[in-house]
Amino acid sequence: MNKVSIMLAASASFLLVSCGQGDILFADKAVVNLSPVEGNPSAGYMDLHGGRLDVALVGVTSDDVLRMEMHETVEKDSMASMAKLKSIPVPAGKTVKLEPGGKHLMIWGVGEGSKKRGLLTMTLIYSNNDRIEINAVVKNVGEAAHAVE
């Protein structure tokens, strides 16, 4: 390798690092845990990664559900209850986790097509008008509980 190609390789890897995590608004590790009880809502979890600007997740939609809400589990006098959220702040460069016992999605009526496919396509709507489509892995809670044993 001559000097020029070494320099190019070095600057290319620098570019990869500089536009990596921390700059791009995205979400990953999305799962939908299907409710074992027909008619009860399923729960959705994911990691929300902040971009360059402070934004908020202001809505989540999907063509293959009846209804979807953003919730937070709150403990009050040692009783857990859920509050509906209008938005979830996603600060620049930070990761916000939707997880059991915290913020989550509540999903009614996941369609049979998504259940069979094992993926639910949903669109995240942010306060800066960014829309990001993601595929959440659809899991049967019964299966998950079994796998943990």
Q: Give the footprint of Cu ion on this chain (CB under 5 A).
A: 71, 82, 106
Q: For Cu ion, give the closer residue by CB, 19 or 82.
A: 82
Shortest Å distance, C-beta 41 to Cu ion? 7
Q: For Cu ion, give the closer residue by CB, 49 or 71.
A: 71
Shortest Å distance, C-beta 72 to Cu ion? 8
User: How long is the chain?
Assistant: 149
Q: Which helix (H) or strand (E) holds 6?
A: helix 3-18
Characterize the bridge pairing of strands 103-108 and 88-90: unpaired
Q: For Cu ion, give the closer residue by CB, 73 or 95.
A: 73
Partners of residue 32 on adjacent β-strands: 44, 138
Q: For Cu ion, give the closer residue by CB, 67 or 131.
A: 67
Shortest Å distance, C-beta 1 to Cu ion? 56
Are 85 and 70 in contact, with CB atoms under 8 Å apart?
Answer: yes
Backbone angles phi, psi at 93, to 5 degrees: 70, 0
Shortest Å distance, C-beta 84 to Cu ion? 8
Shortest Å distance, C-beta 47 to Cu ion? 18
Q: Can you tell me which residue has the tokens 């938005």?
A: 87
Instruction: Give residue number: closest CB to Cu ion.
Output: 71
Q: For Cu ion, give the closer residue by CB, 20 or 101.
A: 101
The DSSP secondary structure of 81-109, one letter per residue, reads EEEEES-EEE-TT-EEEE-TTSEEEEEE-
